[in-house]
Amino acid sequence: MNVLVVEPNESYRRLLVTLLGISGQSTVEAGTAAEAAERIASGKIDMVVTEWKLPDEGGLSVVQLVSQLRADGRKISGIVLTESAGREEVLAAVQAGADGFLLKRSLDPSRWAAAFAGSACRRREKGMGRPAVRSAQAAAPPPGHEEKPEARGPATGHAVNNGAASLRELRPVVTRSAILERIREISEVKAMSPTVTQITRLTANPATSLDAIAKVIARDQSVALKVLRLANSTLFERGDPVTSVRDAVLRIGTKNIRDLVLNLELIDSFSGVMISNRFNFMHFWEHSIACGLLAAEIGRLTGELDPDRAFTLGLLHDLGRMVLAEHFAPEYAHVLEVAERLDLPLELVEARLLLLNHADIMDRLLLMWSFPKDLVVPLASHHLSASNLREHAKKQLAESAILALSNRLAHAAMIGSSGNDTLYPTEALAQLLNLRGEDLQGALERAEKETDDVKFSLLMVGHSQPWTPVRERHRGRLITPINPLFASLRPGVDAVGVALDRLRDANAAPNVSVVHLASPAESVPAASRLRELEEAAGGARLPLLVISPTGELALPGEIARDRQSVGLPLPVTFAQLLRTLNRLCAAEEGAAGAQKEAA
């Protein structure tokens, strides 16, 4: 097998070549992305070992190039060379099509040989398509199916999951050409109505009068009624209620009326979709509206995004899921079932089974419908981490970060559901936007209060609430009320704390401790904080849940000793989080019962 080693540092590159020689591989070297492209173009390369963050010198990165060659039928493997196999890097590499990881610090030829052999064998057995990741050393898995923890006492250990391995085994259910063709057909079938088309044309001309725009809206009774109701909602409420379309347009503003009418059009175009209990129309739009209101609040706090534009971004951010549910119904029902069964974030399963996730699909559709690009970029980037946003959304970093943070907070607060009930980290995004904890908590509280009013204005439903709130649904899955003690170094901007606050029953006695560690360096100070909380609560040593990027970080031995303890990775699905809390609380109740009997 011919292996191309791409490494800027010549000394380290020579060391890699030597180790690969020991493993029995023939090697070719490259120091830059451009050199790598030349070597790959020769057609003699079977595998590429490359830096994950290798600079892209104006063209495709090496990983992207390998993925593109695979799509064209070229049988070539790709292994990412990295300093650390953090969870985000693993997931990004899975989506990019990497076959595995090699840790730079793991200079063991036997491990390297096993990684190469496993990757090559798997590619021969499975053929082409999205490859599986095989790590030369235990790489951090994404959250997935929970198994029994390792034997360290009752309910103690890591919530091990096979979701990562199962994700890697998934194969597409459609071809890329088929899904792109169907997206093109959707763009034609879902063409904008004459009212929207005319408003779009009028608002593109700065000389168009407010009266001309109001006249077009007034001709469409459905649009006119919704514009009036939204103008009188808490989103735009300023003084006395408005009763005419002209006054509604004046209040909303001619600059924002186009985005608003486009929002209404898209909601009407993709309405009433439901696939069993996994995708609920009302929950979907409730989540989208909450995300929009949060984005508007954060836009005001930071001064980085017009609140009306922020609301539009939040409202539309998950619309690709509605497209999938309506126009790819059988395939998407399967995607939803697999994501639920494997306890995986939905966007990962989408990308694996459909080759595009919902954000990718909406990116293409909105551009086909001539939406402004400054609106499309944040929408296409809303699942990226802070570090990835800095790389892929440089020109609209603040707007994209606001939308990404709002989406994660709406999930954490359990306001509606996009079909993806998953808890994601928020601290890095809050730090990127220089947000303080008290500001973010206030924004979330205001957005929660406003969501009901705005969702009824947009959805045109009665003022009673005809569906069970997602938060109550999750709380109903707890076997006993929980009152967690939560230790975090950034509690005000931590989504884990947001979720626990909404699951909490303040009338219950503290019955579980939860610690969120973003890195190993936080272990000691977080342990100190937990000790303070438990002493203030009477000194009880409660069952312990430690949430960390890999699910494998732990607190120092003294505070973790002699108590039930489980680790979970982040992101984590609410289903897995609730199961774990149930297990810990059940173990605590059992221990308390045994103590009473002994007494």
Name the average pLDDT for the chain. 79
Helices (H) and strands (E) in the chain, counts: 28, 13
pLDDT classification of 352: cutoffs 50, 70, 90: very high
User: So what's the pLDDT on residue 129?
Assistant: 34
For residue 526, the number of C-alpha atoms closer than 13 Å in the C-beta half-sphere is 28
Domains 2-140 and 176-471 belong to one CATH topology: no
Supply 64's token pair: 């992207």
Residue with the larger pLDDT of the pair 137 and 37: 37
Does residue 140 surpass a pLDDT of 60?
no
Residue 119, pLDDT > 90, answer no
Q: Where are the domains of the chain?
A: 2-140, 176-471, 476-598
Highest mean pLDDT: which range of 125-129, 229-233, 561-565, 586-590: 561-565
| Residue 400 pLDDT > 90 | yes
More confident call, 62 vs 511:
511
What is the average per-residue pLDDT within 326-343?
Answer: 89
> What percent of the chain stands above pLDDT 90?
35
| pLDDT interval class at 254 (50, 70, 90) | confident
* Three-state SS annotation for 457-516: HHHCCCCCCCCCCHHHHHHCCCCCCECEEEECCCHHHCHHHHHHHHHECCCCCCCEEEEE
Judge: domain 476-598, CATH 3.30.230: no
Architecture of domain 176-471: Orthogonal Bundle (1.10)
Q: Can you give the pLDDT at residue 2?
A: 80
SS3 string, 74-113, reads: CCCEEEEEECCCCHHHHHHHHHHCCCEEEECCCCCHHHHH
Asked if residues 522 and 508 have their Cβ atoms less than 8 Å apart, the reply is: no
Fold observed for domain 2-140 = Rossmann fold (3.40.50)
Distances (CA, A) of 583 to 139, 271, 571: 26, 38, 19
pLDDT in tens, 423-461: 999 999 999 999 998 889 999 999 998 887 777 666 554
| Statement: residue 185 has pLDDT above 70 | yes
**Distance from C-alpha of 192 to C-alpha of 265, rounded to nearest angstrom:** 7
**In the 8-state DSSP scheme, what is residue 73?**
T
Of 112, 107, 101, residue with least CA distance to 138: 101
Tell me if 352 sits within 8 A of 290, measured CB to CB: no
Helix (H) or strand (E) holding 174: none
Which is nearest to 182 in space by CA: 76, 328, 289, 64?
328
Please, which pLDDT band fits residue 316 given cuts at 50, 70 and 90?
confident
The three-state secondary structure class of 433 is coil
pLDDT digits (tens, 9 = 90+) for 503-519: 999 999 999 999 999 99
Reported confidence tier of residue 93, pLDDT bands at 50, 70, 90: low
Quote the pLDDT of residue 117.
46
Amino acid in the structure at residue 65: L
Q: Alpha-carbon distance 33 to 448, whole Å?
A: 47
